[in-house]
Amino acid sequence: MKRTPTFLMALALSAFALTWSSSAFAQDPSSTQQPDAQDEPGAMQTAPNQAPPKPAGRSSSNIGDNADVVDDSGVTLRPDDSSLTGVQVAGLGTQLERHSYIVPGIQYGNFFRSSTLEAPEVGDWNSTSFVAGNVSILQQWSRAQFAMNYTGGGTFATDAKQGNGYYHQMQAQQMFEWRHAKLSIIDQFDYLPQAQFGFGVSSPLALAGIGGPLGPSLPALQTNYMPNQSIFNTLGSRYANSATTELATYLSARSTITFSASYGILRFEEPGNIASNDEIGSIGYDYQLTKRDTLGILYRFTGYSYIGDPQRIGDHVAQLAYGRKITGRAALQLFVGPEITEFKVPLNNQTQRVSISGGGNLAYAVSHTNFTIGYNHGVAAGSGAFAGSTADQITGSATRHLNRIWDANFNLGYARNRSLGGFVGTLNEPEVNSWFAGAGVQRPLGRTATASFAYTAFIENSFAGCSTGACIGYLQHQLSVSFQWHAQPLVIE
């Protein structure tokens, strides 16, 4: 049995204590009155002598159309007010806040695989079971919000090499709003038996918390602000944490300046991997051209360091940005600009190189169907396999409501990590290409439970100066089944 390090538990508890100091997000109320708990699934329940729920947090967003929008499913959405040059991925909007609550739950999931990622050549089917507890918390005040989703438990594998272990995922956000500023503190933590990239796709295991309409919808961090771990066959359990602070200051009705600072770690329990730290600071300026269109300019510095390796990388990025938002319908972000990378230990007899960085994110909704796609190109930490890499990563998803009880989803991803230490354009340039593609369905079981079924394919090819091309290549099939149950939400005073 693998044991979670003492300092790992302390880290998780510290993150919880830090973020519990205030604020939160929302539930799915499609009407302006509290539903009858006996008539609506997952409805809020209050005792007869209990005080009414606290009012929703107010928005102090300074620009654009702040009117609430009702989407195609009848859900009232508050417009997304994230900064174009900030750390978050723009969304279609968030459900209108009306209650503060806590919801506990449990879940079970099983991955049945054609091989192990650590030994793909064996080809023997194996399974890993995940047994965990979930909790989602939402607490709000007039100008502050707190939200947290957490899942934690044990893993039990039939593969002796992987063995039994632990499984944790946590996402938390603390947010304060004033008339001319907004402060966000975001923490994301994962302790997993495999890479986060492609983990649990098309199943509830991919996300922390209880999921569904009662799970607070926390903002996703852009790829540049998370420890990048997108190589499947790195060995053993690993944990990653990203702590990010963002301050957006509204200079006028159309302009915003945004500051952010982030610190991330990536650690492995097995030898043979490269542990890394990243320190990130950025400043950006947004100017809103119209109600829907925004232009921005961004500068970001990232410092990468490695445990047991003298290499340090300083990465400077300057980008122009464009964004477009239509609440409930579309959200687009585009970035492009030069990148200057400096090396403490020279690579190919060079201490500096100049390249291009860029990327984008798109969320789009049509009747009963949502699409998302994201792409990023630039220098990264190396995903545990390299001390620095040039990384291309693209992910996409689609979800569709099929009928009254069934929902379907499709997910895909591709990541290429090319070592910064190789000779560009030659066969001596180590490179790893990773793909995943998955599809699944889910349906409710009564008012408080959900079952899901999914299939995922993982493909990875490695090039390391071989005259014949791919040195390592494999395909892994994965079938997954999961079950989730949550209690009725408990209203927080």
- Cβ atoms of 486 and 210 closer than 8 Å: yes
Pick the closest to residue 223 from 417, 451, 441 (CA basis). Answer: 417
pLDDT surpasses 70 at 23 = no
Distance CA 169, CA 180 (A): 33
pLDDT surpasses 50 at 58 = no
Question: C-alpha distances in angstroms, 290 versus 81, 267, 295, 333, 448?
Answer: 14, 44, 10, 15, 43
pLDDT given at position 98: 67
pLDDT surpasses 80 at 75 = no
Q: Tell me the per-residue pLDDT of 77-134, one tens digit each, with 9 for 90 and over.
A: 889 999 999 999 999 988 776 689 999 999 999 999 997 655 555 568 899 999 999 9
Question: C-alpha distances in angstroms, 309 versus 60, 64, 355, 371, 393?
Answer: 46, 48, 24, 41, 25
pLDDT surpasses 50 at 49 = no
3-state secondary structure (DSSP) of residue 224: helix
pLDDT given at position 61: 43
**What value does the mean pLDDT take over residues 317-324?**
98
**What value does the mean pLDDT take over residues 167-175?**
95
pLDDT surpasses 60 at 220 = yes
Distance CA 350, CA 154 (A): 46
**What value does the mean pLDDT take over residues 447-470?**
78
pLDDT given at position 99: 81
Two tokens at 396? 């996409």
**What value does the mean pLDDT take over residues 126-146?**
94
pLDDT given at position 311: 93
Instruction: Identify the band that residue 72 occupies on the pLDDT scale cut at 50, 70 and 90.
Output: low
pLDDT surpasses 70 at 368 = yes
What does pLDDT average to over the chain?
83
- Cβ atoms of 461 and 435 closer than 8 Å: no
Distance CA 41, CA 22 (A): 28
Q: Tell me the per-residue pLDDT of 245-267, one tens digit each, with 9 for 90 and over.
A: 999 999 999 999 999 999 999 99
- Name all domains of the chain by residue range, CATH numbers in brackets: 6-491 (2.40.160)
